[in-house]
Amino acid sequence: MDKIVSVHAAKTHLSQLLARVEAGEVITIARGRTPVAKLVPIAPKGKREFGAMRGKIGIGPEFFEPLPEDELDRWDQ
């Protein structure tokens, strides 16, 4: 079950609440008896793997050909 704290307590003890959330706890912030927000931990991003897209993307030889004159003129504008 979520721990419920008041807005005042959340403002006063935000650092402690964040430490608890980092430890995996979910905390609901309530105005009076009405819940208005939740503090939840964010899942850490996985480490990127170098070369993960290898073989999935290809560049054809036309990529290295010079651009047509009309397109080059548009770049100069």
Q: Domain spans of the chain?
A: 3-39
∠ CA(15), CA(16), CA(18), 5° rounding?
Answer: 65
**What's the one-letter identity of residue 65?**
E
pLDDT at 2 over 80: no
Could you tell me if 3 and 26 are in contact, meaning their C-beta atoms sit under 8 angstroms apart?
yes
Could you tell me if 41 and 15 are in contact, meaning their C-beta atoms sit under 8 angstroms apart?
no
Domain 3-39 fold is YefM-like fold (3.40.1620)
Distance, CA of 13 to CA of 21 (rounded, Å): 12
Q: Give residue-wise pLDDT tens across range 9-43.
A: 999 999 999 999 999 999 999 999 999 999 999 98
Could you tell me if 76 and 67 are in contact, meaning their C-beta atoms sit under 8 angstroms apart?
no
pTM, two decimal places: 0.56
